[in-house]
Amino acid sequence: MTDQPTVPLPLDDQLCYAIYSAGMAIQRLYKPLLDELGLTYPQYLVLNVLWREDGQTVGGIADQLALESSTLTPLLKRLEAAGLVRRTRNPANERQVVIELTDQGRALQPQAGCLGEALLAASGQSPERLSELNRNVRELRDALYGDGGKWNIVQSSDQ
């Protein structure tokens, strides 16, 4: 056994960098499309959570996006100022803030379908291949968080 320090692998050989840089590439691809919708990528993620299930608490949304509620609150305020969501206190528990889509926020959902189409076209991959890749990355994420992790995974259909 040697006392030599372990040298990090080159970035291109590290899975974490491949996932990170792929995420950045996807966000760059989405940016002009999101700009047309008047959204940032984090705002799109919040709306996507609400399109799946409207009327969620700030904490519930934060858990699904692996964010702290304090990070999410300013984003939600901007979405509310844009007329896309409504924030109200839960009458059964005043500590909870419930987020609901407005008609304007709901109307963006069909327009956001172009994001998946753009990814499919730019990647040159089949829908089946991208679905398999998505499934594999989710399995890795879930394994890394494990049962005791903070992340509350919401099962999603393959897209």
Question: Is 72 inside a domain boundary?
Answer: yes
Structure tokens at 51: 């399109």
Question: Is 105 inside a domain boundary?
Answer: yes
Domain count, the chain: 1
Complete DSSP assignment for 36-71: HHT--HHHHHHHHHHHHS-SEEHHHHHHHHT--HHH
Question: What is d(CA 71, CA 68) in angstroms, rounded to the nearest whole number?
Answer: 5
Indicate which CATH number applies to the domain containing 20. 1.10.10.10
- Cβ–Cβ < 8 Å for 40, 34: yes
Question: Is 104 inside a domain boundary?
Answer: yes
pTM of the model: 0.83
Average pLDDT over residues 11-38: 95
% residues pLDDT > 90 (the chain): 74
Question: Is 137 inside a domain boundary?
Answer: no
Instruction: Count the neighbouring beta carbons within 10 Å of the beta carbon of residue 101.
Output: 19
- pLDDT greater than 70 at residue 152: no
User: What is the per-residue pLDDT across 62-71, written as a single tens digit (0 to 9) for each?
Assistant: 999 988 988 9
Question: Is 127 inside a domain boundary?
Answer: no
Instruction: Count the neighbouring beta carbons within 10 Å of the beta carbon of residue 79.
Output: 24
Say which DSSP state 155 is in: P
User: What is the per-residue pLDDT across 53-102, written as a single tens digit (0 to 9) for each?
Assistant: 999 999 999 999 988 988 999 999 999 999 999 999 988 888 899 999 99
Element (H, E) at 79: helix 69-81
